[in-house]
Amino acid sequence: MDMNIARICGDGIGPEITAAASGVLGAIALKYGHSITYHDILMGGCSIDRYGVPLTEEAVRTAKSCGAVLMGSIGGDPAVSPWYQLPPDKRPEAGLLAIRRELGLYANLRPAYLFPELAASCPLAARDGKPRSFDLIIVRELTGGLYFGARRTETVNGVLTATDTAVYNENEIRRIMKSAFEIARRRRKKVTSVDKANVLDTSRLWRKIAAAQAADYPDVRFENILVDNCAMQLVREPEQFDVIVTENMFGDILSDEASMITGSIGMLPSASLGEGSFGLYEPSHGSAPDIAGKNIANPIATILSAAMLLRYSFGLQREADAVEHAVRSVLTDGLRTADLLPKDPEEAKKCRPVTCSEMGEQIAARI
C-alpha cells in the first residue's frame, strides 16, 4: 500500500518523538512491503516563528490531501515563551483547535491500558493483593461544548467579568454516541456516558440522546454517570470501565486522569477521527518543554498513535498489532525511558534506562 501521511513534528519534544515513530513506521513499511510518503507541515509555535500564524491554509490543504496525519505535540512553556504574549487565537494551541475543526475531527479516542510490565508504576494500590489491570477507552467529543462556544471578557457594573458558553446540538451528541457504541461492540460491550445532568442543560440533552442511541444497541450494556463520580471511580476501580463517552471538556480532564493511572502520560496514544477513515494521531501528552531537546522523552505514546493510524486510517490490522507487540517486547525486556523507571532502586536495577531515540530504534528493530 502507498501511504501518504501528513506529519506535524511541532514543538518541544515533538520532533524527537515523531522521529522515533517515523522510524517504527519505516520498519513496518520495509517488513510488509508498503511505501510511506511524508508531507511535513508546520503547526504551533514553529509555524508562528516561520509564518506568524499557528496554522496556514496551505498546511490544512496538505493535511486534507493525505490519508492521515501523524503529529508530535505543539506549544511551549506559557510562563516564558513569547508565543503566549500573542492574543489567544494566535497562540500555538489555536492551530490544534483549527486543524481539528478544518478536518472535521469530532471523535477523540484515548485508550488507557495498563501494560502488565508497568503495573508497578500504576499509582493505585493493588486490589485484593493483585496488581491492577484495566483496559478502557475514552471517547471524547472534540468539536463542541465550552471550548468552541462564544466567549468574552467585559466590565459589567464596574466588575471585570468573563463568560464562556457551552453549546451542543442533538446531531453532535448522536454522532459521538454512535462512535462510542460501535467501538464498544468491538470491545467488551459496555458504554458509560458521562455528564453533569444534575446541573447543565447541555448534559440533560446529552443524556436524552444517549438513551435513544442505547436503544439501538441492545447488545451493549449502557449506563450514565455524573462527571464528579466518574473522576472518583477512575481512581477507585478503573476495571469497571470499557468505553467512556463524554463531552469535550469533561473528556479533556478525565483522559489526563486516566493516563496517569497507567503509570506515565508518556504511554498513551490518541486518535481524532471524523467521517470516513481520515484521522489525526498524536500522543495524549503535550510538548513537555521542561525536557525538550534532551533526548529523554518517552516516544511510546506517539509510536502507539502510529499503530492506531495504521489500524483506523489504512485498515492495516496486522501491522498495527506488530507495532503493539514490539512495544510490549521492549517493556518485557526491561527497557525504560526516564519517566518509566521504577522509584524503588531495587526494581530500577532490573531495568535498562534508554533514551528517546534508543527506545524508538529498539521498537523498530523488533518489528
Give the residue numbers annotated as catalytic, written as ranges: 147, 196, 228, 252, 256
Q: Which of 195, 242, 282, 319 binds ligand NAD (CB under 6 A)?
A: 282
Would you say the C-alpha torsion 263, 266, 269, 272 has a positive or negative sign?
positive
C-alpha 191/C-alpha 246 separation (Å) is 10
Q: Considering the complex, what minimum distance in angstroms separates the CB of residue 204 from ligand NAD?
A: 30
Q: Which residue do the cell numbers 501528513 mark?
A: 6
Instruction: Tell me whether residue 227 or residue 288 sits nearer to ligand NAD (CB atom).
Output: 288
Largest CA distance in the chain: 68
Please report, for residues 39, 259, 260, 329, the alpha-carbon distance to residue 268 in angstroms, rounded to integers and kept in the order given.
Answer: 24, 6, 9, 17
Q: Considering the complex, what minimum distance in angstroms separates the CB of residue 236 from ligand NAD?
A: 24
Stretch that binds ligand NAD, among 107-115, 272-280, 294-302, 344-352 (CB under 6 A): 294-302
Beta strands in 216-359 (DSSP E): 221-226, 243-246, 269-273, 279-283, 335-336, 352-353
Q: Which of 23, 54, 95, 289 binds ligand NAD (CB under 6 A)?
A: 289
Q: Are strands 68-73 and 221-226 parallel, antiparallel or unpaired?
A: unpaired
Q: Considering the complex, what minimum distance in angstroms separates the CB of residue 48 from ligand NAD?
A: 12
Residue 329 burial class via C-beta count within 10 angstroms: exposed 0-12, middle 13-18, buried 19 and up? middle
Instruction: Tell me whether residue 203 or residue 298 sits nearer to ligand NAD (CB atom).
Output: 298
Secondary structure letter of residue 220 according to DSSP: S
Instruction: Tell me whether residue 238 or residue 263 sits nearer to ligand NAD (CB atom).
Output: 263
By CB under 6 A, the residues from 112 to 141 that bind ligand NAD are none
| Binding of residue 74 to ligand NAD (CB under 6 A) | yes
Stretch that binds ligand NAD, among 124-132, 279-287, 305-313, 328-336 (CB under 6 A): 279-287
Length reported for the chain: 367
Instruction: Tell me whether residue 78 or residue 334 sits nearer to ligand NAD (CB atom).
Output: 78
Q: How many residues bind ligand NAD (CB under 6 A)?
A: 22
User: Could you tell me the three cell numbers for 364?
Assistant: 523498530
Helix (H, G, I), strand (E, B) or coil at 278: coil
Laid out side by side, the sheet with 190-195 consists of: 35-40, 2-10, 68-73, 279-283, 269-273, 107-113, 135-141, 243-246, 190-195, 221-226
C-beta separation of 338 from 301 below 8 A: no
| Binding of residue 298 to ligand NAD (CB under 6 A) | yes
Q: Considering the complex, what minimum distance in angstroms separates the CB of residue 199 from ligand NAD?
A: 27
Instruction: Tell me whether residue 287 or residue 362 sits nearer to ligand NAD (CB atom).
Output: 287
C-alpha 244/C-alpha 139 separation (Å) is 6
Helix (H, G, I), strand (E, B) or coil at 233: helix
Q: Considering the complex, what minimum distance in angstroms separates the CB of residue 334 from ligand NAD?
A: 18
| Binding of residue 354 to ligand NAD (CB under 6 A) | no
Stretch that binds ligand NAD, among 48-56, 108-116, 118-126, 296-304 (CB under 6 A): 296-304
Instruction: Tell me whether residue 193 or residue 302 sits nearer to ligand NAD (CB atom).
Output: 302
Q: Considering the complex, what minimum distance in angstroms separates the CB of residue 338 from ligand NAD?
A: 7
| Binding of residue 8 to ligand NAD (CB under 6 A) | no
Q: Considering the complex, what minimum distance in angstroms separates the CB of residue 220 from ligand NAD?
A: 30
Q: Which residue do the cell numbers 511505501 mark?
A: 35
Binding letters toward ligand NAD, positions 75-104, x by CB under 6 A:
xx-x--------------x--x--------
C-beta separation of 295 from 356 below 8 A: yes
Helix (H, G, I), strand (E, B) or coil at 210: helix
Q: Are strands 159-164 and 335-336 parallel, antiparallel or unpaired?
A: unpaired
Instruction: Tell me whether residue 74 or residue 118 sits nearer to ligand NAD (CB atom).
Output: 74
- Residues in contact with ligand NAD by the rule CB under 6 A: 13, 73-76, 78, 93, 96, 265-266, 282, 285-291, 297-298, 301, 339
